[in-house]
Amino acid sequence: MKPGYYGNWGGAFVPEILHETFRQLNAFFTEAQADPAFWRQYVDLMGSYSCRPTPLTLAENLTRRFGGASIYIKREDLNHTGAHKANNVMGQGLLVQRMGKRRVIAETGAGQHGVATATMAAKFGFECTIYMGEEDVQRQRPNVFWMEKLGATVVPVTSGSRTLKDAINEAFRDWVANMDSTHYVMGTVCGPHPFPAMVAWFQKIIGEEAKEQILAAHGRLPARVYACVGGGSNAMGIFQGFLADEEVELVGVEAGGEGLTSGRHASRLAAIPTTADTDGIPDATPGVAQGYKTMFLQDDDGQMKDTHSVAAGLDYIGVSPMLADLWERGRVRMTAATDTEVMEALQLAMASEGIIPALESAHAFVQAFKEAGELSPESAIIINQSGRGDKDIFTIAHAFKDPSWREFIRAKGEEYGKEPVS
């Protein structure tokens, strides 16, 4: 198989101008991977700076409620900056140091990857520019605020659907002009080789920890592991701990948005078997875009479709080539959760366990809640809580139609309207 391919998927479809940059990146990555001192440096950094190992929490109240498998939650929300994104970003930061570059750029959907990258840049002393779709800038305003305060320049992208896919294109354009000084910190296990391999390598720390922790806490492997899938990095991260254990079922949960037949979702793989003989549904088909081959939400001509999810971090046209391969080979089962189901699961998780998953992560909770009761009480399942929901306060408050929050925002707006910003 060609390097950078996972079955039929992957590759490196990059413009010639970036060929040399990718050659160098590959060389530095391969060298780092072969150097045990590099991985130790990474683990130490994550331990002292990012709260690793993150705990595996037994959700006792939820377990009791569903009456089946013991529900464990892998707490990636406790990472510094509040999501699994920190793992990847700190790892790439160490690589950037090795490469001697001075500037990093990134794309971001939910803003979590942008905040993580801006944080890393502040810590390592790199210059930092973050590209973010204009629509996501609106949706994830608190994260924009943090990125700016951390010293990054946030560039709202107004082209296309003004979401993550367009931010990725803009980041590529920047890179093409500035590759000598700049590293592009890809946020997920997508894009041209070696990005999927590199991001998956840093994120495998989640799965390695989770496996050790579940064996210690429960005495056996979990029956199932659930993770939400946007690009697929938190999923690949935790799945890698269990890939070789065939008895562990791996379940990915994509964004079902307003439903798989609504035309407003971001579900690539999950939408396929259920809608095989239905017309007019924007199912994914094989394609090549943004530098790699995978299943994309595209039309008959190969133009990418608009996507939708209540969770900005899952609102993406493509999916990791690694997951496309695992799905095709039947190793990973793909499902989808709708926006409505996500809000219900979120509410339940908050009220019964006192934890606030990010809207992205809440997708994984939906599917786990649907299935936990089917399993025997001796078994265990793990939900990967990829991030915390604080960033989503505006979206969540809006969805819950919370009257006192509304009043607070209205009053704040009035207050700001009166006093000039100086």
Ligand X SMILES: Cc1ncc(COP(=O)(O)O)c(C=O)c1O
Binding interface with ligand X (CB under 6 A): 83, 109-110, 112-113, 188, 228-234, 313-314, 358, 360-361, 386-387
Rounded-to-10 torsion of CA 204, 388, 337, 186:
-50
Q: How far is the CB of 378 from ligand X (least distance, A)?
A: 30
Q: How far is the CB of 80 from ligand X (least distance, A)?
A: 14
What's phi and psi for 183, nearest 5 deg?
Answer: -110, 135
Instruction: Find which of ligand X, another protein, none residue 12 binds, CB within 5 to 8 Å per kind.
Output: another protein
Asked if 263 touches another protein (CB under 8 A), the answer is no
Q: Which is nearer to ligand X, 229 or 326 (CB)?
A: 229
Q: Which of residues 300-319 bind another protein (CB under 8 A)?
A: 300-304
Q: How far is the CB of 328 from another protein (least distance, A)?
A: 17
Are 194 and 321 in contact by the 8 Å Cβ rule? The answer is no
Q: How far is the CB of 336 from another protein (least distance, A)?
A: 23
Q: Which is nearer to ligand X, 186 or 214 (CB)?
A: 186
DSSP, collapsed to helix, strand or coil, labels residue 133 as strand
Asked if 288 touches another protein (CB under 8 A), the answer is yes
Binding-residue pattern over the window 14 to 53 for another protein, x denoting contact by CB under 8 A: xxxxxxxx--------------------------------
Q: Which is nearer to another protein, 20 or 407 (CB)?
A: 20
Which residues, listed in sequence order, are joined to residue 17 by a DSSP beta bridge?
A: none
Q: Which is nearer to another protein, 153 or 159 (CB)?
A: 159
Q: How far is the CB of 315 from another protein (least distance, A)?
A: 15
Instruction: Find which of ligand X, another protein, none residue 290 binds, CB within 5 to 8 Å per kind.
Output: another protein
CA distance 358 to 352: 16
Q: Which is nearer to another protein, 183 or 204 (CB)?
A: 183
Instruction: Find which of ligand X, another protein, none residue 286 binds, CB within 5 to 8 Å per kind.
Output: another protein
Say which of 50, 70, 107, 341 is annotated catalytic: 107
